[in-house]
Amino acid sequence: MPELPEVETVKNELLPHIVGQQITGVTPLWERIVRQPSVEEFCSRLVGQRITGAARRGKYLILSLISHQVLIIHLKMTGSLLLKPASAEPDKYTRAIIYLDNETQIQFRDPRKFGAMWLVEDKNTVIGKLGPEPLEADFTPQTLLKSLSNRTAPIKALLCDQTFIAGIGNMYADEALFAAGIHSSRPGGNLSRDEVERLHRTIQQVLRNSIKNMGASTNTYYRPSGEKGFAHHHFQVAHRGGKPCPICGTSIERIVVRNRGTYFCPKCQPEL
């Protein structure tokens, strides 16, 4: 699933090509990708709108429109937004196309059909319950420590809970916990202050490094250019089950934590 670094990369790479452009047409090739309003109203309200900004919140891409409405896009598990010439033919996995007046189109490609789009007046109707942004200044070690207080859920599950912290999923939770030397099954409230400070630091390091590497193309994620990201080449444990730990050489193991496949090093991340 595209997580914070992937969506940030999509936003950064789309921004110079779409901001200031007018939407000239919308083709929903799979109508259920539109969650709000009706498909007919979605298309009629979008056509003629000018895109005035692009932002990210958690795993959501938010396009501001001149009408002060917002187009919110969630790539879910297998989605990509591809920037193509206006004449480009969609492949069989393209679920929607947005045409712009600079002779380009945005193709929403999504093999597994989990992606979604909303056109709303108030973005908080869709994203209002998200937790803090892990790269913002107000996300401090003290904030994280307070949020973890008395929490009995496994730390891996908490990091993947979008109401607890926004944008982190399986891959980057595994990477941050490995870098911090914390077992994924540890109850969040049992972490010491030092461990929380270390985890806060590794969360930010892992996310920033992955943004620099244009996100991780472990499966179906592509950048708007159609190229892959490089972040997965730097993974230490994520998707590396059975391979040697880069620190100690122990085989990376895979377990399930709250229904999520989880990779860790049993020596560097002792369960305690």
**Catalytic site positions:** 2-3, 59, 260
Alpha-carbon span 109 to 71, nearest angstrom: 17
Q: What are the structure tokens assigned to 71, written together? A: 């187009």
The residues facing 264 across adjacent strands are 253
Alpha-carbon span 40 to 223, nearest angstrom: 29
Q: Are 4 and 132 in contact (CB under 8 A)?
A: no
The residues facing 181 across adjacent strands are none
Taking the alpha carbons of 208, 209, 211, 216 in that order, is the dihedral positive or negative? negative
Beta strands in the chain (DSSP E): 23-28, 34-36, 51-57, 60-65, 70-74, 80-85, 94-100, 104-109, 116-120, 253-257, 260-264
